[in-house]
Structure 1
């Protein structure tokens, strides 16, 4: 055990998860990296230990296996100061329109699992009287678009969950952050046509997550331009919006 603050990163094998872990480690946090293959995360944990002289460990966590959530949270060596959920699945919209199993996986990966595990940690933080919860949502949840409404609807639900949890948890000393990255250059978006001025690299998101925790920000659009873009999109009348092909 050390006197350093601790962060648990759920989805530690993702590009954004790795970037967030590095940002917190550089700031002096001990880091827990959680993912479906804990062994595959060990090289990243070893790099954090060597590079930043902090403690880093790996844990097995599957966001779809909700039956294990209680034992996962209860089996941690110590309750962390910060929990960051970066788990999610973009999926394929066209496939999800007719493949119920695929649509279910997208919805559970982006809404059900992240909401349940963060709600569980929120209860533990409230019992302790402090802590920070971070959920990485998406601008796709600000308004349903025809090109990705299955994913977007799940992220909309996740954002609403975080908003409600934030209001309740704030009265008990627990801070809840919603992060909306926009387009990010990652393995998940490889091959997609991204808009240059609206696209950031994973380390930018990692730094934004750390800053939001330290500054106690509630909702973060990683690119300020996205806040303006989504303000305009949300203001469009439905009759106009439904005709747009994006």
Structure 2
């Protein structure tokens, strides 16, 4: 029985690319998200293109009450294979919009952190019971330090990183690898409206690098790797200087 990757937020550009990467290595797929028509088309394409089982499954990150049932269905569809997780959902509204509307701010926290913590919490007993598997979650370089342009988004990603650190500690005895990818900007719909960004990655290149890094174990990793020295400098800047930067 082949391993199965559950792709959470499977309609995103990065998730699509990662699903293709996993399928090219023979993995079965559960494509989870809200747009069932898109997921069905994507599943059919992957099954034909790579000859692997690919199954669409409805998932709503903010509907916490459905997460236990969703996880049970993922486990059923994986059969005897090892269950792995790629968490790629999230939203990034403009900071000004979040400042002006508490509903926008709350929605971002619910999607980026609360929903992620809820579904990962529901998955934990399954991962412990199978004594293995890999969890890859998309964090962000924005979580390294609160910047005036996107500090609420950054706060949700910082919270996710801390959660994943504790999650990894919980699952370490079961042989589960937990990896948080601190992603720099990727050329997707989430970044199209933003000013030109440095070191922009393509979804395909990013997914290939994420797959390769996941095979090396858990922890955290900057992708692309250039963000490690960049964010090291940003973290070390004295606060008076940092606060003057329009970043």
Above 0.5 in TM-score? yes
Q: Does the CA-based 8 Å contact 1:212-1:218 persist in structure 2? A: no
Q: Does the CA-based 8 Å contact 2:88-2:138 persist in structure 1? A: yes
Q: Deviation per CA, 1:33-58, whole angstroms, max 9, x where unpaired?
A: 10012232111111111111111010
- Runs of 4+ residues over 6 Å off in structure 1: none
- Structure 2 Cα separation of the partners of residues 167 and 47 of structure 1: 37
Unaligned runs of 5+ in 1: none
Partner residue, 1:83: 85
Partner residue, 1:37: 35
Q: Does the CA-based 8 Å contact 1:38-1:59 persist in structure 2? A: yes
Q: Does the CA-based 8 Å contact 1:46-1:56 persist in structure 2? A: yes
Q: Deviation per CA, 1:85-117, whole angstroms, max 9, x where unpaired?
A: 100001121010121000001111111111221
The CA deviation at 1:119 is 2.3
Partner residue, 1:73: 71
1:212 is the counterpart of 2:213: yes
Q: Deviation per CA, 1:115-172, whole angstroms, max 9, x where unpaired?
A: 2211221222112211211111100001110000111100110011111211221122
Partner residue, 2:122: 120
Q: Does the CA-based 8 Å contact 1:90-1:106 persist in structure 2? A: yes
- 2:106 aligned residue (104, 107, 116): 104
Partner residue, 1:235: 236
Partner residue, 1:8: 6
Matches within 5 A, 1:126-137: 126-137=128-139
Q: Does the CA-based 8 Å contact 1:6-1:81 persist in structure 2? A: yes
Q: Does the CA-based 8 Å contact 1:122-1:133 persist in structure 2? A: no
The CA deviation at 1:217 is 4.0
Q: Does the CA-based 8 Å contact 1:32-1:59 persist in structure 2? A: yes
- Structure 2 Cα separation of the partners of residues 191 and 103 of structure 1: 19
Q: Does the CA-based 8 Å contact 2:135-2:179 persist in structure 1? A: yes
Q: Deviation per CA, 1:180-232, whole angstroms, max 9, x where unpaired?
A: 22010001111322334x11000122112211222214212111110110000
- Structure 2 Cα separation of the partners of residues 37 and 110 of structure 1: 18
- Structure 2 Cα separation of the partners of residues 184 and 70 of structure 1: 31
SS in structure 2 opposite 1:145? coil
Partner residue, 1:160: 162
Partner residue, 1:221: 222
Q: Does the CA-based 8 Å contact 1:141-1:153 persist in structure 2? A: yes
TM-score normalised by length of structure 1: 0.95
TM-score normalised by length of structure 2: 0.94
Unaligned runs of 5+ in 2: none
